[in-house]
Amino acid sequence: MDDYRVLIVDDEEELVTTIAERLQIRGIQAEIATDGETALKMIEENPPQVVVLDVMMPGIGGIEILKRMKLQNLQIPVILLTGYGSTEQGMEGMREGAFDYLMKPCDLNILISKIQEAVQNL
Amino acid sequence: MREMNENEIAFIGKITAGVTHEINNALASIKEISGLMEDIISMSSGDSFPHQEKFLKALPKIREQVQRSVTLTTQLNKFSHLSDEFSAQVELNDFIEHLIFLTQRFARIKNVELQYQPADQALSFNTNPIQLQMAIYNCITYFLNHSTDGGIVSIHPNINGEQNTIHISFKGEVVDKSKLFNDSSSAEELLILQDVISSQDGSAEFDGPAQSIKLNFKTQQE
């Protein structure tokens, strides 16, 4: 379980820090970014095995990050986190090649099983 | 009371939608923080953590209340998006179920139960979603305001030829049965209802003895 890294990206710092800590307790290496630019830099410099992206963020949002990853041919599975009324954005993300999407707030166990599914598909 | 124009309604809708997003983010954080506390407490031994059992019992209750709040804000967010378009396709079964959720509290205060009997088929048509919600809401509140205490308001949508119908009836004791629907020139709910119905090119039928209102809307609105 600890041989892969997950990058979690959300502008809600408290939320993303806590999710990362809970994943670490369960033996999953988790890193965080709270904005799109930092996330892209982290992905380019040291690609994680899975990226969890919030769709709605100030500046570069989740869909845009996904598109840029695609342009750079970065084949990393992406799980999108969507809010109310953004199911359409989740679907858009799927068309752009996202592995899956979950509604916020999501159940941690469901997130973990999606992460594991994504890793198994690598 | 001054009527709001479309821009004002859309403004309220947009602000409400934005705030519900923020509340949802806060709830997501509370959920994860309480989950983290549970993780940490579970890892501690009973000796090193006094009242461990009590904490482990209390934390799921926080999660339950978070889930309850998420459900409420989700429905409120959905309601706020009704003002996105002034003409949109609605599916009556989902639409009424949503309204019942939103009006439960008003009914509960009067000890009235809201019962919903969905139609056997999907009933989709184009309408002004806010006005339709207002029409059904005003029928419900009319019965709530006339009930003594307790009873059941039943709502049943159906299709009848080229018309979608919504049948709203009340089973229970009313304050003065002889006055039921005879106050249409003074009862605010009925005044609003008639206003909304006429702007939607629909009609309303009132049946005092049966304590029921039937709303009719064309399936294809021009």
Question: Model confidence over A40-95: pLDDT tens digits?
Answer: 999 999 999 999 999 989 999 999 999 999 999 999 999 999 987 667 888 899 99
Question: How many Cβ atoms are within 10 Å of A108's Cβ, its own excluded?
Answer: 18
Q: Provide the token pair at B73.
A: 């804000």
- At B48, which amino acid appears? S
The answer on B121 and B79 residing in a single domain is: no
Same domain, B95 and B68: no
Asked whether residue B93 falls in the same domain as residue B186, the answer is yes
Residues 49-108 of B with CB under 8 A from A: 66, 70, 73-74, 77-78, 81
Predicted confidence band at B161 (pLDDT cuts at 50, 70, 90)? confident
Based on the domain organization, do B70 and B27 belong to the same domain?
A: yes
Q: What is the pLDDT of residue B4?
A: 75
**CB-CB under 8 Å, B28 with A105:** yes
Question: What pLDDT score does A1 carry?
Answer: 47
* Mean pLDDT of the region B37-43: 93
- What mean pLDDT do residues B13-19 have? 92
Closest CA to A84 of B30, B73, B136, B13: B73
3-state helix, strand, coil in chain A (%, to 5): 45, 20, 35
CATH of the domain at B194: 3.30.565.10
Instruction: State mean pLDDT over B98-103.
Output: 95
Residues B54 and B114 in one domain: no
Alpha-carbon gap: B92 to the closest alpha carbon of chain A (Å) = 19
Same domain for B57 and B94, yes or no, is no
State the CATH architecture for A5-86+101-120.
3-Layer(aba) Sandwich (3.40)
What integer is the mean pLDDT of B120-135?
89
> What would the mean pLDDT of B179-195 be, rounded to a whole number?
85
Chain A, 23-42: which have a CB under 8 Å from a chain B CB?
Answer: 25
Q: Which domain-ending residue is among B24, B58, B83?
A: B83
**Are both B61 and B97 inside the same structural domain?**
no
Q: Is B16 on the interface with A (CB under 8 A)?
A: no
**Rounded percentage of chain B residues whose pLDDT exceeds 90:** 63
Q: Is the pLDDT of residue A109 over 80?
A: yes
The residue whose two tokens read 């989902």 is B94
Whole-model pTM? 0.83
Q: Does B20 touch chain A (CB under 8 A)?
A: yes
What is residue A77's DSSP assignment? -
A&B contacts, CB < 8 Å? 51
- Per the domain annotation, does B1 fall within a domain? no
DSSP H helices in B44-151: 52-80, 92-109, 129-146
**Domain chopping of chain A, boundaries:** 5-86+101-120
By C-alpha distance, the chain A residue nearest B63 is: A107
